[in-house]
Structure 1
Amino acid sequence: MLLLFTCLLLGALVARFAKPPSGIVHGINWWVINIALPALVLELMPRVKIDAQLWFPVAAMWVVFFGAWLLFATLGRWLGWSRERVGALTLVCGLGNTSFMGYPMMQALHGKEGLALAVVADQLGCFPLLSSAGVAVASWYAGKSPQPAVIARRILSFPAFLALVVGVIAGALGGWPAWADDVFVPIGATLTPLALFSVGLQFKFHLRPGQRSALVLGLGWKLALAPLAAWLLGRAAGVGGLTLTVGVLQAAMAPMISAAILADEHRLEPALANTILGAGIVLSLATVPLANLLLGG
């Protein structure tokens, strides 16, 4: 947790005082997504124990996204929100930061076993949702038509998804030799400091008039009601132990950076999306550990 706070603070301080070179965020994110994340997935996936409850961390991500869509589409009609606002809230409050923040927080709170379950929730739940339903929602509320072929190609060619498939196969064959882990472990270890440093570099908080209620309602869902809904689903289905805890905590994670970028690309009230992102990151540093305590973690 100390590493998490330190890297996040360093990123914010560098962005504020050091004037980092342009393109630094893009460069860091490229390494994290295309190198560090696949290496971490390759290391962890052969160790994941397949059991009957493993569906839950994935299903929890679907509950968060489609619950957000239903909630904000309904509130949008009642409150007279624009299509752009409904789309922005659905994206940033329906998709969680289950990798850049979820991985280091789950490792800090529950070690390697918790991190492996976090990878399952992210790679089989949140990332496919971003690439499919997320793109579809962004296109719909921006007045465009989503392209299924592009969505499928985006999922199947994503480096971490390919690493997940390879890691599952390696696990079925008995795991990696020791020399391979000696390569994957140090490369994967760069994900936590660089990801949190990147988040700090991008932190913004600019609330415009008339956006306060949307901010409160959006974060109320993402940080409180969504994890509660995931917990109710898990308890009703008889899920327990670390699988329940990690699934709920991933549901409680801060809004996803990529979702805010997607909203910005489709002009879905980007100022609101970025404000929710920044406020959610700060608040989640307290709400996720608190949820962990309530779950008995």
Structure 2
Amino acid sequence: MSALLILFVCLALGILCRRYAKLPDGIVPGINWFVLNIALPALVLALVPRVRIDAHLWFPVFAMFLTFFGAWALFTTLGRTLGWSRARIGCLTLVCGLGNTSFMGYPMMEALHGKEGLAIAVIADQLGCFPLLAAGGIVVASLYSGRSASPALVARRLLTFPAFLSLIAGVVVGAAGGWPESVDRVLMQLGSTLTPLALFSVGLQFKLHLHRDQLGALVAGLGWKLLLAPVIGLAVGMAAGVTGLTLIVGVLQAAMAPMISAAILADQYDLEPRLANTVLGAGILLSLATIPLGNLLLTHIL
């Protein structure tokens, strides 16, 4: 309970500071830089060598691909039926196909399932959601905004991302027997800063501006992201014989709130940024209830 409480406290502090405090210029980019380039790589380096090889570890990664490509297919179909603009289809594909599996997923999985759950969450994020953002996200943004996506740009984003390089290094270290205790301790201490800083940053960026013309798209988007995608993922996982914590974490990561970076990408490519921020804010707010509730249901029925 205390682990979940810190998530709410850090998020609330961010929202309150954004509303009432006089913040220094560049605080959000500064926090995000530290989280993405120091805390997250350190956490990945600490956790990946501890991951127990499981024949079902494909599932958390598959759940991320299912969520993204399922969103693309669903919103393309809905868009044609309802007469949505290409910008709206691209916007919903990005923000409801990519989940906040690191900034919110890591701390929530650690709070609910400890270091073992967090290690599985890292696999889902680094082998699933991040490559999808770096490759699929750029392709979708370019396609629906009328721009071109350079293969070199996609490859560079993927191969120079610090946490992805840390994932590769962690696999090598794990195969070699793991880190010395002193190194492991330093990495975990650095990685432990991710939870408060990430949630504080999410709070600083929280926006919720609901407009009547967005309501249908909002319901469709969050209906897929928070409910339909994880339910389909659960059905596929159970049919394939996936069990235990691997199944639970994979489903919960698929059910995570929309990704902040995806909303930023939608803004950069002018894909209905107002809708992107509305879906992002509402998704974060709702997921604070739906993730713990979903975890309770999963642990009860599985």
What displacement does 1:6 show?
Answer: 0.3
Residue 116 (structure 2) pairs with residue 113 (structure 1): yes
Residue 71 (structure 2) pairs with residue 68 (structure 1): yes
CA–CA distance in structure 2, aligned partners of residues 209 and 52 of structure 1: 47
Aligned pairs for 1:137-156 within 5 A: 137-156=140-159
Match of 1:183, as an amino acid?
A: V
Report the counterpart of residue 25 of structure 1 in structure 2.
Answer: 28
Match of 2:270, as an amino acid?
A: R
- CA offset digits 1:30-51 (Å, max 9, x no partner): 0000000000000000000112
CA–CA distance in structure 2, aligned partners of residues 5 and 258 of structure 1: 21
- CA offset digits 1:132-175 (Å, max 9, x no partner): 01110000000011111110111011000000000000000000
- Given the two structures, how large is their TM-score scaled by the length of structure 1? 0.99
Match of 1:53, as an amino acid?
A: H
CA–CA distance in structure 1, aligned partners of residues 107 and 76 of structure 2: 32
CA–CA distance in structure 1, aligned partners of residues 113 and 286 of structure 2: 20
Match of 1:24, as an amino acid?
A: I
- Within the candidate set 257, 262, 265, 1:262 is matched to 265
What displacement does 1:204 show?
Answer: 0.3
- CA offset digits 1:32-75 (Å, max 9, x no partner): 00000000000000000112101000000000000000000000
CA contact (8 A) 1:58 1:121 kept: yes
Residue 188 (structure 2) pairs with residue 182 (structure 1): no
Report the counterpart of residue 281 of structure 1 in structure 2.
Answer: 284
Report the counterpart of residue 166 of structure 2 in structure 1.
Answer: 163
Report the identity percentage. 71
- Given the two structures, how large is their TM-score scaled by the length of structure 2? 0.97
Worse-matched range after superposition: 178-187 or 164-173: 178-187
Unmatched segments (≥5 aa) in structure 1: none
- Within the candidate set 84, 104, 108, 1:101 is matched to 104
CA–CA distance in structure 2, aligned partners of residues 209 and 286 of structure 1: 24
Residue 222 (structure 2) pairs with residue 219 (structure 1): yes
CA–CA distance in structure 2, aligned partners of residues 256 and 225 of structure 1: 17
Moved over 3 A (4+): none
Unmatched segments (≥5 aa) in structure 2: none
What displacement does 1:19 show?
Answer: 2.2
Residue 202 (structure 2) pairs with residue 199 (structure 1): yes
Match of 1:270, as an amino acid?
A: P
CA–CA distance in structure 1, aligned partners of residues 287 and 261 of structure 2: 17
CA–CA distance in structure 2, aligned partners of residues 35 and 141 of structure 1: 33
- CA offset digits 1:85-139 (Å, max 9, x no partner): 0000000000000000000000000000000000000000000000001110000
Query: What CA RMSD, in Å, does the superposition of the two structures yield over aligned residues?
Result: 0.7
CA–CA distance in structure 2, aligned partners of residues 182 and 284 of structure 1: 32
CA contact (8 A) 1:207 1:271 kept: no
Match of 1:185, as an amino acid?
A: M
